[in-house]
Amino acid sequence: MLDLHRLQLLRELSLRGTVGAVAAALNYAPSTISAQLARLEAEAGTELLEHVGRGVRLTPAAQVLADHAQGMLDAMERAEADLAAATHQVSGTVRVSMFQSAALALLPGALRRLAHEHPHLRVQMTQREPEMALRETWARDFDLVVAEQYPHHAAEHLPGLIRTPLARDRLRLAVGTALAASVPVTSLPDAAGLPWVLEPAPAASRHWALQQCRRAGFEPDVRYESADLQAHVQLVEAGLAVTILPGILGGYRRPRVRWVGLPRNPHREIFTSMREATTTHPGALAVRAAFEAEAGTYA
C-alpha cells in the first residue's frame, strides 16, 4: 500500500525541483524528505529517483505516481470542501496571497466583513507578487490568490486554477502637484525629462511602464526603484519623481497628485484564482465574496 503523505512529497519534488526546496516549503529537514522518498521507493518496488550531479530527478515511473498523487490530493480537497459545506457555520482557515496595492485597498474592509458575517473563519494573508503567488497556489501553498495582469501582459495560466474577475483598475501618470505647477505635464511625452520611480525588474508593472514610455518616444530616467508603491506615492507627492500608478490606491489613501491620462485609457485586470478542487469550499468562497464586495465599493 502506497502512503499518501509520501506520494505528496513526490509530487512536491516534481513541482519544486529539489529536495531542499521541498524541505523549505514544508518545514522539514532535507534528510527527512530523502528518507520518506526512499521508503516510498521501497513501497513502489521500483526506482523513483535518479541522481543527477548533486540533485535528483524523477524517473518515468515516479512521474506517473506524482500525477496520480495530484488526483488523490484533489479528491481529498473536494472531500474537505464537502465536509465543510455540511456544517452549519463557515469556519476553518483560508490561506490568501495578495499583492501590495490590492492588500492596502481591499484587505481591511474584507476582513471586517468576514469578522461580522463569519466570525469563526480564520484568514491568513501573505504578500506575494502575482507571478509567484499563482504558482504557489497551484502548488497548494495558498487556497486563494488575488493577482493582476497588465494590458497585453497576461499572467501565466496554470492547469486546474480557476480565475474570477475582481476589478478593472485604471492606470495613469501621477505627477506631484507642486512639480506639475512648475513643469507643464499634460501627456506622457511631457514626462520624458523628469526622474521616474518604478518597481524593480522583472515586475510586470515595470516592463509595461517602460513599454508605454518607449512607445511615447523616450527612455525614462529611472532614478529610484522600490517594490513598495507607498514609497512611489511619497516620492511623487514630494515632487521628486513621476510614475504610473493604479487607481485602486485611492481606496486606501487618495494620493495628492495630479493625474494625467495615458493613451487608450489602459486598465490592469485584478482577479482571484483558486484550485478547481477549492471552488466549492465555503470558507474560500466567503473570502472571495468579501473581496468582491470590497472591489464593488471601490469601483
- pLDDT tens digits, residue range 13-31? 888 888 888 888 788 888 8
pLDDT digits over 270-294, tens only? 999 999 989 999 999 999 999 999 9
Q: What angle do CA 251, 132, 12 make, to 5 degrees?
A: 140
For residue 146, the surrounding DSSP H or E stretch is strand 144-149
Reference 227, options 210, 207, 203, 256; nearest CA is 203
Of the candidates 137, 153, 116, the one whose C-alpha atom is nearest the C-alpha of residue 274 is 137
Residue 100 neighbours by CB under 8 Å, 6+ apart: 127, 227, 228, 229, 230
| Residue that wins the pLDDT comparison between 83 and 125 | 125
- SS3 of 192-261: the string is CCCEEEECCCCCHHHHHHHHHHHHCCCCCEEEEECCCHHHHHHHHHCCCCEEEEEHHHHHCCCCCEEEEC
For residue 267, which amino acid is it? H
DSSP 181: H
User: Lowest mean pLDDT: which of 77-86, 209-218, 228-237?
Assistant: 77-86
> Which pTM value belongs to this model?
0.82
**Distance separating alpha carbons of residues 197 and 221, to the nearest angstrom:** 9
Q: What is the pLDDT of residue 183?
A: 85
Q: Is 221 exposed, middle or buried (0-12, 13-18, 19+ CB in 10 A)?
A: middle
Give the separation between CA 187 and CA 85, rounded to whole angstroms.
Answer: 53
Share of the chain above pLDDT 70, in %: 99
Rounded distance between C-alpha atoms, residue 8 and residue 19, angstroms: 13
pLDDT digits (tens, 9 = 90+) for 107-148: 999 999 999 999 999 999 999 989 899 999 988 899 999 999
Question: Taken in order 132, 138, 141, 146, is the CA torsion positive or negative?
Answer: positive
Q: Put residue 17 in one of left, alpha, beta given phi > 0 → left and psi -120 to 50 → alpha.
A: left
Q: Express each pLDDT in 147-184 by its tens digit.
A: 999 998 888 898 889 999 999 999 999 999 888 888 89
Instruction: For residue 37, give the C-alpha cell.
Output: 522518498
pLDDT-derived band of residue 200, with 50, 70 and 90 as boundaries?
A: very high
- Per-residue pLDDT averaged across 180-203, rounded? 92
Asked if residue 67 lies in contact with residue 7, where contact means CB atoms within 8 angstroms, the answer is: no
Structural domains for the chain:
4-83 (1.10.10.10), 89-168+269-298 (3.40.190.10), 170-266 (3.40.190.290)
pLDDT band at 298 (very low <50, low <70, confident <90, very high): low
Neighbour count for residue 191 (Cβ, 10 Å): 25
Inform me whether the pLDDT recorded for 299 exceeds 60.
no
Residue 106: what pLDDT?
94
Q: What is residue 129's three-state secondary structure?
A: coil
Residue pair 65/44 in contact (Cβ under 8 Å)? The answer is yes
